[in-house]
Structure 1
Amino acid sequence: MKHLLPKEAWAWLQAETGRRAALGQDAPLFVDVRMEIESLYVGRPPGVDNIPWYEYPDLTPDPVRFAAAVEAEAGAKDRPVLLICRSGKRTLDAAAALEAAGFADVTHVVHGFEGDLNDAFKRSSLNGWRYDGLPWEQM
């Protein structure tokens, strides 16, 4: 598993998308592993596919189900996969599950979309995708 800070992940995604397009290959699959409600209402990067690591009401990861859903979306286990979550914690487990399932090129976004909590228990104030001013959308 590779670890990229948000700005590095965005730059890699843009470069790799262009490189792979020139070769006639699919762009990397960018996956938001947060619950759908988080992704929709908190915000998410543009072009991301939402494949939750776990979902309400169970809140229990199912690594086999997750890997199968990513494989169905990716089309092949050798397609690069970039994972993002709220703080970069869930993606570590999700990436490990993908690697255990045979995915060859998995990267996660360190600090995730909202980043770490500050001393006042607020996110998006220290690090993360939004903090870095990267593109995002909100429903």
Structure 2
Amino acid sequence: MKHLTPRQAWELLQAHPDVLFVDVRMEIEYLYVGHPPGIVHIAWYEYPDMQPVPEQFVQQVLREAGSPSRPVMLLCRSGNRSLAAGEALEAAGFTDVINVLHGFEGDLDEHAHRNTVNGWRHDGLPWAQF
């Protein structure tokens, strides 16, 4: 698995629009916290179960990707869920998986706040919110 900073991920997406960009956060995060443009939402887990079902996730990504050889880039809140989701994709035979480090909201700062240290939004990259 490759690991890219948000800025590196954005640059790769601009140079290679064929990359499948997947947001693995819960739907409420995707909708109300915000998300990058052009991203496909496939949750790693959802409320209220809060338990991943890797086989289901892999099948949903495969339907979107069309092939396990298509590059797939994963984004979550902080980079942890996307890492686990990427490992599931690799275990299922995906050959080009990319994890976005620090995720959409970034790591916690000394006050337990996000969006102040790193992450997609912190880096000023494009995003939308409902």
TM bin, normalised by shorter chain, reads over 0.9
The aligned length equals 130
2:47 is aligned, of 39, 56, 62, to 56
> For 1:111-137, what per-residue CA distance to the aligned partner results, in whole angstroms no more than 9, with x for missing partners?
000000111111000000000000000
- C-alpha separation in 2, matches of 1:9 and 1:126: 17
- C-alpha separation in 1, matches of 2:109 and 2:56: 34
Q: State TM-score, norm by structure 1.
A: 0.92
- Within 5 Å, give how 1:1-139 maps onto structure 2: 1-17=1-17, 27-139=18-130
Q: State TM-score, norm by structure 2.
A: 0.99
* Secondary structure in 1 matching 2:126: coil
The alignment's C-alpha RMSD in Å is 0.5
- C-alpha separation in 2, matches of 1:65 and 1:120: 36
- C-alpha separation in 1, matches of 2:47 and 2:117: 28
Higher Cα Rg, which structure: 1
- C-alpha separation in 2, matches of 1:118 and 1:67: 32
- C-alpha separation in 1, matches of 2:103 and 2:66: 25
* Secondary structure in 2 matching 1:92: helix
1:16 Cα offset (Å): 1.4
1:82 Cα offset (Å): 0.4
% identity of equivalent residues: 62
Unmatched segments (≥5 aa) in structure 1: 18-26
Structure 1 moving runs of 4+ over 3 Å: none
